[in-house]
Amino acid sequence: MYNGIIVIDKDAGMTSGDVVYKLRKILHTRKIGHAGTLDPSVTGVLPIAVGQATKLIELMHERPKAYEGEGMFGEATDSYDLDGTVTKTARLARPFTSAEIQAGMKQLTGDISQLPPIYSAVKVNGKRLYEYARAGIPVERPARAVHVASYELVGKPKWDEAQARESFAFKVACSKGTYVRSLVNDLGEKMGVPAVMTRLRRTASSGFDLQQAVTLDELEKHLEQIDQYLQPIDAFFKDYQTVDLDEQSWKQVQNGAWIKLKADADKVALRYNNRVKAIYRAKGGATYCPDLMLLSNE
């Protein structure tokens, strides 16, 4: 039985569910889940929890994400990317300067309110937004609060004189729930022109990045070396304060008991035999109680 996180570098054309389905076949186990859906056209980091690590999925969702991509001024679609139907086009009077684009991006950083694309999985009255869109039913999209740590222009924008359009590359670091497609669309609105995202690649998620990532094809070809691709559960808690348990404390933890700890963090990782076996949270004073149990982590 495998326990850990496999960081997949997802290819374009696959859904996140496709990746899980294929990994279940490759690893011959059903206890697998992903942390953070990627649209089929988006490539990059898709953390996959296996075995005991599936208990971490909710925590994995909470961690920030990073992306790099490209956008274009002069066209907009209903999905905010190239998979949608064109809703507006415009010939730009002139190219925007790098400073102008970066100034627009700065307005979309920090704590912001964002409308999700109509073609998204956000639920309204029990139905996904994309279900309303496909049925042609108008619906009010709920604004959501997100945090954009950085939204930056990369390199020089490219001006297409014949089409009077401008392409630009960018990188984004943001909280969960942020739609990068919306950031590109909203940037166009700030600049007063239609805009569409033309490419996106996730470079980091759940505390992992492309350096730890492997494609499905590579993993399948080198399955005998899976240990080098399987990130241990402990790696997810590398920033936590850790406490090594003695035999008596370990027996208490196995029974889910509240224990006294010499610690000064709100949450601590408890280790036994050099493996994180539980996450305990402070209850006041030196008393800690169970928050997440990982007793089978070997």
Beta partners for 153?
170
Pairing of strands 287-293, 241-244: unpaired
* Amino acid symbol at 279: I
39 is catalytic: yes
How far is residue 165's CA from residue 54's CA, in Å, rounded to a whole number? Answer: 45
CA 232, chain centre distance (Å): 19
CA distance 46 to 43: 9
Q: Cα separation of 115 and 124, whole Å?
A: 13
Catalytic, out of 9, 18, 39, 209: 39
Two structure tokens written together for 261: 């700890």
Distance CA 32, CA 41 (A): 22
Determine contact, residues 41/218, Cβ cutoff 8 Å: no
Supply the DSSP string of 190-246, one letter for each residue.
HHTS-EEEEEEEEEEETTEEGGG-B-HHHHHHTGGGGGGTEE-HHHHTTTSEEEE--
Q: What amino acid positions are annotated as catalytic residues?
A: 39
